[in-house]
Amino acid sequence: MARRYVIAGNWKMNQTPAQTKEFITALAPMVAGKDNCDIVLCVPFVDIATAVEAAKGTNIHIGAQNVHFEEKGAFTGEVSANMLKEIGTEYVIIGHSERRQYFGETDETVNKRTKAALAAGFKVLLCVGEMLDARQAGITDELVAMQVKLDLAGISADDLKNVIIAYEPVWAIGTGLTATPEQADETCGVIRATVAKLYGEAAAKEIIIQYGGSMNDKNAADLLAKENIDGGLIGGASLKTDAFTAIVSAAQ
């Protein structure tokens, strides 16, 4: 079965609502008709409503960069799944390395957020990946497999159909360093094999696995040509219409 590419931009803490409208208005005609992949922009919370409105009638889908696992309550600074759903959000990133590294996310909270997002009907971009010391110690495979098992604990095979796993070597995020296509494909293969052990071969063949470590317009084609890489979770390049369009074009 041919898996569908998903090219998703993670804007992180960039772009105001006005800039968001301007960006999507410029991007939409550039990616129009490029329908061999799903195109997603995961924008800051304050930009989502503007992004959803600007993307209407286009092939661009809008996502959030996080979601809380409770429906409501005394969780200052958090946003619930229902809040995001009501304003038209379709996707949500969960477990990004920056959330893990700077804001105390654990595999337990990632799992809880994933369950809440799936229950609300979102497509989840679930991030896993190793630090540089783990790569140098030769334990990448074990660490990434463990993350996948913990983050997907208690998630049904039916819900798994709405999960996309993004492999992000932490040492390659925002550094300009990139895993070689061979390294990226190998680790994405480990993720696929782990899914096979948990859910069976059919589920492993179907699940979409992105690469998310400094993919850009120059290396996208080589990365996307690999057997186990089904798209990209794009950081800096997703803030440039030309570069992001080139990555989408590489997925064609």
| DSSP symbols for 132-157 | HHHHHHT-HHHHHHHHHHHHTTT--H
Q: How many CA atoms lie within 13 A of 129 on its CB side?
A: 31
- Residues contacting residue 221 through CB under 8 Å, at least 6 positions apart: 250
Q: At what angle do helices 140-151 and 107-119 cross, to 10 degrees?
A: 40
Q: Which pLDDT belongs to residue 78?
A: 97
* Strand duo 91-94 + 37-42: pairing: unpaired
Q: Which pLDDT belongs to residue 233?
A: 97
Question: Does the active-site annotation cover 96?
Answer: yes
Tell me the CATH number for domain 5-122+129-241: 3.20.20.70
Name residues of the chain where pLDDT drops below 50. none
- Give the pTM: 0.96
Q: Which pLDDT belongs to residue 210?
A: 98
CB 185 within 8 A of CB 227: yes
Domain ranges of the chain: 5-122+129-241
CB 180 within 8 A of CB 207: no
Q: Which pLDDT belongs to residue 174?
A: 72
Q: Please pick, among 68, 96, 98, 130, the residue that the annotation labels catalytic.
A: 96
Q: Please pick, among 98, 105, 130, 168, the residue that the annotation labels catalytic.
A: 168
Q: Which pLDDT belongs to residue 172?
A: 80
Q: Which pLDDT belongs to residue 1?
A: 55
- Residue 181 tokens read as 């296509």
Q: What's the N-to-C CA distance of the chain in angstroms?
A: 17
Question: Does the active-site annotation cover 90?
Answer: no
- Residue 107 tokens read as 């595999």
C-alpha–C-alpha distance, residues 187 and 168, integer Å: 10
CB 242 within 8 A of CB 220: no
Q: Which pLDDT belongs to residue 110?
A: 98
